[in-house]
Amino acid sequence: MKTKEVILEAVKAGKKSECLDGRDFQRLIDFFPASDWPHFKFHIRVDAEPPSPQNLTEAAVIEHMKSDVAFGFEKALDQRGLSAASMYSVVQMWLWVLDDSLQYHDQYAQYGLPLFKAVAIKYGFPNPIGDNTGSELKYQSD
């Protein structure tokens, strides 16, 4: 798993958010002090109290990813293209942090269902599509 230092160096070296709305980095900054947020293109309001960063542990990342995979499944099954695409990028970001080879999964079929299923199976998360591969035509928008 990547350390905070490695993640921060990658961002400083040009790693960018893969989401239109910065949703992936917005989740990632939970693990960084507010003083590092500008590197991720986020700032804390002057009148706000900076939150304490969470500890960057494998368990914490997996817990965040579990929630994001569930949300990704929900958006994909509802055929919500922009939201599903954002969650696909968020899940890939968590996989990058974990140094998991699934980060290279590049088959965005049916709103990301194949990636969400692969992650769910590997990490023991709920898998609402069961034995389907996620590429079945029934998941395609009309």
Instruction: Please say whether the beta carbons of 26 and 44 come within 8 A.
Output: no
Q: Where are the domains of the chain?
A: 4-139
pLDDT digits (tens, 9 = 90+) for 57-106: 999 999 999 999 999 999 999 988 889 999 999 999 999 999 999 998 87
Q: Report the predicted TM-score, pTM, of the whole model to 2 decimal places.
A: 0.90
Q: Would you state the pLDDT for residue 137?
A: 67
- Residue 20, Cβ density class (10 Å: 0-12 exposed, 13-18 middle, ≥19 buried): exposed
Estimate to the nearest angstrom the gap between the alpha carbon of 4 and the chain centroid.
Answer: 16
pLDDT digits (tens, 9 = 90+) for 83-93: 999 999 999 99
Instruction: Please say whether the beta carbons of 112 and 88 come within 8 A.
Output: yes
